Amino acid sequence: MKIFIGGDHRGVLLKKEIIRNLEEDGFNIIDTKLENNDLDDYPDFAFEVAKNIIENEGALGILICGNGIGISIAANKVKGIRCARVFNEDDAFKCKNHNGANIIAIGAEENIDKVMNIINVFISTKPASEERHLKRINKIIKYEQGEYNEL
């Protein structure tokens, strides 16, 4: 499984720790090609990771910025992306199993042990399979494609 990761200047240290932990666990981690500096902008990292998720079926993404909100908003502008800002393991499970998330966003100030627990749940959680969840995810996809008119 490919896991794409990116983060702005505030997320650099946490991103490096995440990469190290996931590579030790044998995952194929692909960092963004963009370089970090004090003036970088989170949307650039969100767009690069999101585009890679779209181009690599079954891949997952991890994004990091100051609080995880801005980068998740940016990622969700890319067609086909469902990114959730997660705070805990329950969020990580539900965003993938209930909502079909393919990227999670995390705040840069989170503790690495907590973050790795969240990421491990996200990676190991099976995608949505219950009809009620699939129905909702499909509505989102159809709306995004301009096909859902049942409002």
Q: Are 89 and 122 in contact (CB under 8 A)?
A: no
- Residue 149 has a pLDDT of 72
Q: Does residue 65 fall inside a structural domain? A: yes
- Residue 151 has a pLDDT of 63
Residue 63: how many CB atoms within 10 A of its CB? 30
Q: Does residue 125 fall inside a structural domain? A: yes
CATH number at residue 91: 3.40.1400.10
Q: Does residue 34 fall inside a structural domain? A: yes
Number of separate domains in the chain: 1
* Residue spans of the chain under pLDDT 50: none
**Could you say which of 9, 83, 95, 98 is catalytic?**
98
- Residue 98 among the catalytic residues: yes
Q: Does residue 25 fall inside a structural domain? A: yes
- 123: domain range? 2-144
- Residue 95 among the catalytic residues: no
C-alpha separations of 119 from 7, 86, 103, 139, 142 in Å: 15, 10, 10, 26, 28
- CB-neighbour burial class of residue 75 (10 A; exposed 0-12, middle 13-18, buried 19+): buried
Tokens of 70: 């801005």
**Could you say which of 9, 65, 83, 95 is catalytic?**
65
- Residue 148 has a pLDDT of 77
- Residue 142 has a pLDDT of 94
The whole-angstrom separation of Cα 68 and Cα 6 is 11
Nearest CA among 35, 42, 31 for reference residue 67: 42
pLDDT per residue as tens digits for the range 52-90: 999 999 999 999 999 999 999 999 999 999 999 999 999
The whole-angstrom separation of Cα 44 and Cα 71 is 9
